[in-house]
Amino acid sequence: MATYENLQLDHYYLIRETEGAEITLTQVVLETAKSLLLLHIDEVETTAWKKKDDFVFEIVEELTQEQVDEYEDLFEDDDEDWNFNEIGFGDDDDDEEDEEEEDETIK
């Protein structure tokens, strides 16, 4: 059975951590002498520390850089669609103008 030590820093893998678990896209983002920090990429990205000698049920495959780029391109357009300033979030200037208008209305 494979261990987390088989995973390399900055590489992406499809892994199944336990029998019957979903396959997840995982990147090793930090390595210490005895542990790895993994980034699990799913609907929500999460991180988890794993000891290098802990068992992983299955390393399905390592992704090539081309596959990683292709995966990121799938979601790049979605990220660009969300500009919070365009929909009124994160623009502090508008908040100040709104407050000034409210103050003038009250007077």
Delimit the domains of the chain by residue range.
Answer: 2-83
Positive or negative, the CA dihedral 27, 38, 4, 58 is negative
Is the model's pTM score more than 0.85? no
Res 4 pLDDT > 60: yes
The tens digit of pLDDT for each residue in 25-83 reads 999 999 999 999 999 998 899 999 999 999 999 999 999 999 999 988 987 765 555 55
Both tokens of residue 66?
């081309």
